[in-house]
Structure 1
């Protein structure tokens, strides 16, 4: 299976200058052909990848755009493929309409096999028109990567991302299953009674982020001090994102080592964040990221993640007798059923998720709604 391994890298000053031009060319190609394809779409014409690629070859011969030839041709060509993928995702209703890439946002340049050389023995990475890149290898790369992506974050840090094909490493079978209810007050509640606290990283770094943003507001826009302060703000955002990612990975590893099958709800997170009262807390919790990480870890180690129907009334149904309540406002965190069972809202939902998941997969008793 394919995995993406990311490492910190440290280009030289000369390499940074070349990377700035490479990022600029890739961004220019992406934005130009996004505009051309949008205009063609409005005229009722079709412009796909092959037409864009032919137009790019013609553009490089134009005397006004000869600077496109100063960098490797692979990143600019890959920018067209990324644009094609963005349009495919849009037409398949997986994402919104492609947006233009910003100069002050995250920059990236992707290299295919023809534009880089990787030596497994001494872990050396050489890129076209850049030379050898100094990389901080946190673990040994066992195979040749299929693609290499150089990334510059708004914080000014550089990373290299490798796509490699590795064999899954199955973990021992435990014979255990678990249902998980994700939420805001607690990040996750397991059907066995375990509770995972929501770290709320945005609130934890709120004061630090506020100070840096206030300092940015006092700087003259476009000045060197403004640019440096903007990087300081971006570094705080990096801390929040890295902390959230670390929590998701630790949770996923804890689950796949203890359980063979993990059941979760197929949440409509895109619709949930439209609730302005919950949007910030939902985004800060990183529920979608946690589910994706668990799914990836499960596939990597021979375990399975099963998503149940999002319309299943897991919170309103008693896990003891199956009685279904007519309503269950979010303000109710504990409730008692007529059968005498007292429930914690999230733990009861997790138990119902486990029961219906086992019923659907044929690994447990059937679940009936009363």
Structure 2
């Protein structure tokens, strides 16, 4: 079972600059890939899009600065776009239950910024986390990670707060479905009698000083 564990961190001024560059590159790659998809009669596969908006784009004067950041979050941005399209199509065809999913939209600089890294792009080093081409950041470990994370998403919210959101495997919680509810009968002598026969006695206030 997958779960997210999120922690706040405070980057240095240099790391803020590097993260701003990373967020911008991830946003541009997403938007470039989305523009191609909108012009195509059939949505291209993730591998094809990565070649167009990352590998080939780096060779152009207009997009050569994509080489300044790790390729891992750029690849994940294209992969996430593919997932977004799949969820949209599944929602339209009824294969995805729940609320209708809207089609992917272009990302804006004013919105929340994020970049996702797989295990190739980060590692936990003591009380710090190394992020490729960013360096080591020190999150506030409010709780322990239950297992090794498979990915981490770097987030900057609209209030300019920074977070690391890890995806980890956890053990599912098993619930005894045989007895999900219980009846309670409130009384005077006995405070409460449960439907399973157990009793809760009233407190004896006469012993209080």
1:17 positional shift: 0.2
Are 1:54 and 2:46 matched, yes or no? no
Structure 1 residues 95 and 169: CA distance shift in structure 2, 3 A: closer
Equivalent pairs, count: 175
Structure number with greater CO (CA < 8 Å, separation at least 6) is: 2
Q: Which residue of 1 aligns with 2:150?
A: 146
1:19-168 aligned within 5 A: 19-40=19-40, 44-55=41-52, 56-93=54-91, 94-119=100-125, 122-168=126-172
More helix by share: 1
1:77 positional shift: 0.7
1:45 positional shift: 4.3
5+ long unaligned stretches in structure 2: 92-99, 185-209
1:144-179 Cα shifts (integer Å, max 9, x gaps): 11001100001111111000112234467781249x
Structure 1 residues 175 and 46: CA distance shift in structure 2, 3 A: closer
1:87-145 Cα shifts (integer Å, max 9, x gaps): 111111241121111100010010110111114xx332111111111101110113211
Q: Tell me the distance in 2 between the aligned counterparts of 1:45 and 1:156.
A: 38
- RMSD of aligned alpha carbons: 2.1
Structure 1 runs, 4 residues or longer, greater than 3 Å off: 169-174
Relative to the length of structure 2, the TM-score reads: 0.77
Are 1:10 and 2:10 matched, yes or no? yes
**Contact (CA 8 Å) 2:153, 2:165: kept in 1 or not?**
yes
